[in-house]
Amino acid sequence: MRIRMGARVVFWLLLAATWQAGAQTAPAYESAFLDYAKVTKSYDTQKMSEFMHPEALTRFRTVIDAALNGQKKEEAAAALLPLFSVSSVADFEKLTDMQAYKRMNDTIVKSSPELVEMMSTSTYEILSSVVKDHVAYVTYRLGVTVGGKPTSSQVIQALKMHEGKWLLLLPSTADRATARIEASFK
């Protein structure tokens, strides 16, 4: 009888310990990423911009500023200003970094309404995460339906702490886009 009672106690303790381990909350950077993922489903460009780290917005803005003030500034103005719904470099310069990022996303929505539909049904599954040198790297699987066909890709999103909140750095697609802008308007 004692052995059975002892076995039951051990069983319940193990079960409680397992439940506690499973009930632990996700790291704050994973929660921040998942909150951002929810915002992308509605493609709320204001909230999406608010999730961006100031360093990311500055990096984005610096590339645009350099193009608009570089050797090919006329070409850059013709190509880039419409992305921000402004008609002059002076108008662009009045925008904050966050406003510029938001306006670019607004333009994307206007020119590609199917993107909003695609994002509304997207799925995000965190595969792993790690923090290195004060930057969190969240590896996730993004699932989208394109032309009626489901597809998925593995993506890494970096986040960095700012004023007590984990915020996103530029995703790799934005980094590639900024590199193209730099190369195009040097």
How is the chain split into domains, by residue range? 36-184
pLDDT value at residue 148: 87
Residue 116 CA to residue 83 CA, distance in Å, equals 17
pLDDT of 16 over the 70 cut: no
Q: Are 121 and 113 in contact (CB under 8 A)?
A: no
Which has the higher per-residue pLDDT, 39 or 11?
Answer: 39
CATH topology of domain 36-184: Nuclear Transport Factor 2; Chain: A, (3.10.450)
User: What is the spatial distance between Cα 115 and Cα 162, in angstroms, rounded to a whole number?
Assistant: 29
**Whole-prediction pTM:** 0.80
Task: List the single range of 35-39, 88-92, 110-114 with lowest mean pLDDT.
Answer: 110-114
Confidence of residue 135 (pLDDT cuts 50, 70, 90): very high
pLDDT at 11: 35
- Report pLDDT digits (tens) over 40-88: 998 899 999 999 999 999 999 999 999 999 999 999 999 999 999 999 9
- pLDDT of 167 reads 97
Residue 112: per-residue pLDDT: 86
- What pLDDT does 83 receive? 93
Give the angle 150-156-162 at the CA atoms, nearest 5°: 130
CA distance 70 to 144: 38
User: What pLDDT is stored for residue 24 in this prediction?
Assistant: 56
